Every structure is written in C-alpha cells, then in structure tokens.
Amino acid sequence: MFKGKIVFISYFISLLVIGTGGFFFIGGDQWSIIDSFYMTFLTLSTVGFSEVHPLTDAGRVWTIILILFGVTGVGILLSNLGDILSQFGDYRSKKMEKNIKNLKNHFIICGYGRMGAVIAKELTEKKLPFVVVELNEKKIEIMHHNNILCLQGDATMDETLKLANLERASGIAVVLDTDQDNLFVTMSIRTINPDVFLLSRCSKEANHAKIKRAGANKVVNPYTAGGHRIAEMLLSPLVEDSVSVVSQSHQNIDLSLDEISLKPLNQFHDVSIKNSKLREKFNLIIVGIIDNKGESTINPAPDTILNANSSILLMGNKENMNRFKGKYINL
C-alpha cells in the first residue's frame, strides 16, 4: 500500500537535495545553503515568490529544469493516484477480513437499514463483538466512518455468510428489506450453522410461518418491534417474550414481564418454585408457567415443580431481571 507513497516522497526529497546543490554551485559565494534550499523549495512549489538573488543564465536554466522535473513528479502522482487509493482500499478490506476471521461467539447483522443500525448501536454500547453484512457501498462507507466492523457483500450468498464467520457466531439478525430475502437468507444460514440463534425480520403476517419453518428461532415484525427490542431479543435467546410496564404515578417503578424457556437452564429442572430461590436471590416472581402444549398456569403454587419443557413467566423490576439474565442467560 505504502510503496507508491514512499517512492513519491523519495523523488521529491531527491529533487530538494539536487536542486539545493545546483543553486549553491551555480550561485557561487553569493548563495548560502539556506538560500539555495529556499529557492529550490519555491521553484518546486511554484508559489511565484521573487528570486532570493538575481539569477544568471545558468541559474534560470537550472530553475526551468527543476520546474520540469517537479511538474513531472506531480503528473506521476496523479496518474498513480487511482492505484494508491485502490491499494488503500485493498489494505482496509484485508484488515477488515482479518478482524472478521478472528471473531468468535460474535453476532452478525445482515442489513444496515434502520433496524440494523439500531441493533449495531446497541451491540456497540454493550461492547459486544459483531459484524454487519451489507451490499450498499454508501452504507459501507458510513460504517467505516463510524468504525463499525463490516463486510461488503450479498447476504443471500453462502460465501458471504461464511466470510462473516457464521460457523463460530452465537447469534444472527436477518433484517434485510424484503421478506423474500430474509426467508432465503434464513434457509441458507440453517444449512451452514444449524445451531446458531437466528432472528429474522418479517413485514407481512402471511410470511411469518414460512420464515419460522425455514429455521428462524424468532420472527419479528418491524412495525410492532423496534430495533432496540430486537437487539434485546438477539442478546437474550432464552427470553421468549418480554413486556415492559412503567407506572405513570410512580416513575421509579419499571416492571418487566419475560417469558423464559427452561430447557437450557438445567439448574431449574425438577425444582419447585419455592426451592428455585428466585424471589430470595433476585426478588423476581414466577407469575405463570406455559407447558410444551401451550397451556398456561397463572399464579402457580410455591410447590409446583418446574419442568424442562416449560417456560416461565417471570416478573420483577428491570434491574433485577437483568441481574438474573446476566447470571443464567449468557448475554
């Protein structure tokens, strides 16, 4: 990348040295090294200041030679400017590819639209590793400007997803503009990484079931769930659903009601609600249980045994809920 720049700088340094020597030799005793260097610099920069000392014919010829070589150098620079910029772009791309290749347990965002940008902002604030896959060149430049790790490519292509290190990712949000693209990418992801947590955007209710069958763990509607909510869902895969309730009369009360799957939480299998110690440790209350058939039990008794195939409705303030998630749900 820097080869052309080094050659160009070396060329002008050589001109400064040779030009200074030429003026010093031609000017004789009247010209000092400083005078000679100053005159060389003025000549090469073509700023048009007056001569340091009156020039002899030899001095004028030497000045013309320096101007010609200086103009030639600028011409060489301009002719190679495209190559230099291209080399810089290649260097930046290779650096990005290297950073992406080193990612592990990261998140992938397919699409940098309104929702993708909000998700990226949330992940950045939480200092979590992620990469954005985007085809649009202008959006790529915006991400470069904001120091967001990104990959320019078509998310519908398997090779692009593999370059995003999909095999080692812990979660992926597919938030492209159309349901058709989101459906196709969802199917592609499942062929590459069957186990990654996958959240997909769906604008039309009629396509919800199709994207779900294609392999999405969660399907979200952009008109009912904002980017912030989708980011929370991506970071908390065990949380099936969540509702936030803020009291208007008591501004300091901010409750959260989350539906959490117990399947991966071995420590709660075959344990009674009382012995789960959720109230004592986190000041959280299990207000409901949903079994694998979708049937719910509201306000279950303390001696109710928790089942691995069930989900619990957990209620408490957001701070305590986040403490629970931080301990048992690896954000």
Query: Does 80 lie in the same domain as 13?
Result: yes
Nearest to 57 by CA among 16, 28, 19, 26: 26
Residue 274 contacts residue 230 (beta carbons within 8 Å) = no
| Domain end among 99, 130, 154 | 99
Query: Does 323 lie in the same domain as 266?
Result: yes
**How many C-beta atoms surround the C-beta of residue 322 within 10 A?**
16
Q: Residue-wise pLDDT tens for the chain (331 aa)?
A: 455 556 667 777 887 888 788 888 887 777 888 888 888 777 776 655 566 677 777 878 887 887 777 776 666 665 665 555 555 556 566 777 788 888 889 999 999 998 899 899 989 988 999 999 999 999 999 998 898 999 999 999 999 999 999 999 999 999 999 999 999 999 999 999 999 999 999 988 889 999 999 999 888 887 666 666 677 777 766 555 544 544 444 445 567 777 788 888 888 999 999 999 999 999 999 988 988 877 888 888 999 999 888 888 888 888 888 888 888 875 4
The residue range of the domain holding 29 is 3-99
- From CA 261, how far away is CA 255, in angstroms rounded? 19
- From CA 93, how far away is CA 103, in angstroms rounded? 16
What is the four-CA torsion angle of 312, 318, 323, 329, rounded to 10 degrees? 50
Query: Does 222 lie in the same domain as 109?
Result: yes
Question: What strands, in cross-sheet order, belong to the sheet with 254-261?
Answer: 239-246, 254-261, 311-317, 285-290, 296-298
| Domain end among 204, 235, 266 | 235
Residue 133 contacts residue 156 (beta carbons within 8 Å) = no
CATH number at residue 16: 1.10.287.70
Cut 0.85: pTM above it: no
Query: Does 220 lie in the same domain as 250?
Result: no
Query: Does 60 lie in the same domain as 18?
Result: yes
Q: Which two tokens stand for residue 40?
A: 């060389």
Q: Which two tokens stand for residue 166?
A: 């999909």
pLDDT value at residue 238: 53
Query: Does 201 lie in the same domain as 265?
Result: no
First-residue to last-residue Cα distance in the chain: 39
Mention every residue, 6+ apart, whose C-beta is less than 8 A from residue 92.
Answer: 144
CATH number at residue 318: 3.30.70.1450
Query: Does 136 lie in the same domain as 45?
Result: no
CATH number at residue 116: 3.40.50.720
Secondary structure class of 132 (helix, strand, coil) = strand
Counting the structural domains of the chain, the total is 3
Nearest to 38 by CA among 26, 56, 53, 28: 53
| Domain end among 200, 218, 235 | 235
Query: Does 192 lie in the same domain as 107?
Result: yes
Query: Does 214 lie in the same domain as 111?
Result: yes
Query: Does 145 lie in the same domain as 83?
Result: no
Beta strands at 150-152 and 130-134: parallel, antiparallel or unpaired: parallel
Q: Which two tokens stand for residue 18?
A: 């040779």
pLDDT value at residue 42: 76
- From CA 175, how far away is CA 216, in angstroms rounded? 12
**Rg of the chain taking only CA atoms, in angstroms:** 33
